[in-house]
Amino acid sequence: MRPFPSRDPSLREQRARAHKFCRRYQTEPSKQNSQLVKSLFAHCGKNVIIESGFFCDYGQFITVGDNTFLNINVTCLDGGKVEIGNDCLIGPNVQILTVTHTTDAAARLNKENFVADIHIGDNVWIGAGAILLPGVTVAAGAVIGAGSVVTKSIAANQTVVGNPARPIAHSNPHG
């Protein structure tokens, strides 16, 4: 975790801009307003679909690869980097949270934020309502079950479910 100066005037201005674009896209989900949201990102690949209800704090810390789909009401609290690979499927109401606060009650009065980047590899499927906490890496080909809370990094091609998310064994219907 590293400190993040969310009260910095330039960051507050960027956050206000991102919130404005996200609200505009939610109330009028047009191609033009989708492009406004994508323009916030550090990088947005080809054939990316972002359904309405998407929300981010800054956008400038987000990269999205090609052919990725973000379903309705995806939230990215992106004080840290959010890197989403190619060919990902991100379900409705998924929360990708790079920001946290201290657990010490007295220190929390200082309103300091801390961030840790989140990395999502290629061809990852994140089920509806999943929550990714700061600092996790989800390696290529992984699956996160609906409603799971990801507190630790996930290996390639691993399926995790639950709170906290834990690996499960599953059979491969194609092999």
Residue 174 has pLDDT above 90, yes or no: no
At residue 119, the pLDDT reads: 98
Number of domains into which the chain is organized: 1
20-24, 39-43, 170-174: least confidently modelled range: 170-174
Residue 108 has pLDDT above 80, yes or no: yes
In a domain, 96, yes or no: yes
Residue 16 has pLDDT above 70, yes or no: yes
Distance between CA atoms of 149 and 165, rounded to whole angstroms?
Answer: 5
In a domain, 173, yes or no: no
In a domain, 175, yes or no: no
Which residue range is the domain that position 90 belongs to?
2-168
How high does pLDDT run on average in the chain?
Answer: 94
Give the model confidence (pLDDT) of 27-82 as tens digits.
998 999 999 999 999 999 999 999 999 999 999 999 999 999 999 999 999 999 99
Residue by residue, DSSP assigns 48-65 as -EE-TT-EES-STTEEE-
pLDDT band at 22 (very low <50, low <70, confident <90, very high): very high
Distance between CA atoms of 151 and 133, rounded to whole angstroms?
Answer: 6
In a domain, 79, yes or no: yes
In a domain, 174, yes or no: no
At residue 76, the pLDDT reads: 98
CATH number at residue 76: 2.160.10.10
90, HSE (Cβ side, Cα atoms, 13 Å): 32
In a domain, 10, yes or no: yes
At residue 111, the pLDDT reads: 86
pLDDT band at 171 (very low <50, low <70, confident <90, very high): low
Residue 163 has pLDDT above 70, yes or no: yes
pLDDT band at 107 (very low <50, low <70, confident <90, very high): confident
Told to judge if 101 belongs to the known catalytic residues of this protein, a careful annotator would answer yes
At residue 133, the pLDDT reads: 98
At residue 170, the pLDDT reads: 65
List 19, 43, 101, 174, catalytic entry: 101
At residue 172, the pLDDT reads: 58
H-helix or E-strand spanning residue 83: strand 82-84
Distance between CA atoms of 107 and 103, rounded to whole angstroms?
Answer: 8
Q: Residue 95's closest CA among 73, 115, 80, 114?
A: 73
